[in-house]
Amino acid sequence: MIVLDLSCEQGHRFEAWFASSDAFEQQQASGLVTCPHCGTHQVKRLPSAPYVQTSSHTRPAEPDPQAIASKLIEALRSAAKHSEDVGERFVEEARRIHYGEAEERAIRGQAKPSDMIELLEEGIPILPVPPDKDDLH
């Protein structure tokens, strides 16, 4: 069995199942293929990707939330390592960059939770990054 993408002269797109491409051609020539939306027999086959059936129907593995979180933290730490450390001037510098008063660049530094909330409320995108164990020494 194959699934074909079809379209009628009115532009309605739909799918239909056939035993083979030849079966579609025969049924179309006999006027048996009609648009389910408007009933017209003026139907053409659209290009479609081939369907390849594999011998097994295994479900994809469920994503591991711990692994996803670990990869995300790793990516954030990597981005932080390639940014400019502005230290305690983080809040001020983030505002200056956001409002076009300083060159746009990736920065990192320290901020109190209340300052981070204010930055977010101003529409300034920031992300807290958990420190790496090597950064704690």
* Contact in structure between 23 and 60 (CB atoms under 8 Å): no
pLDDT given for residue 101 in this prediction: 96
Q: From CA 7, how far away is CA 54, in angstroms rounded? A: 28
Q: Are residues 121 and 69 in the same domain?
A: yes
78 domain-assigned: yes
Low-confidence ranges of the chain (pLDDT < 70): 49-59, 134-137
Establish if 17 belongs to a structural domain: yes
The pLDDT score that the predictor gives to residue 56 is 62
CA of 11: how far to CAs of 1, 6, 17, 55, 66, in Å?
25, 10, 19, 36, 47
The total number of structural domains in the chain stands at 2
pLDDT tens for residues 77-99?
888 888 999 999 999 999 999 99
Q: Which domain holds residue 110?
A: 65-136
Radius of gyration of the chain measured on its C-alpha atoms = 29
The pLDDT of residue 74 is 87
19 falls within a domain: yes
Asked if residue 24 and residue 80 are part of one domain, the reply reads no
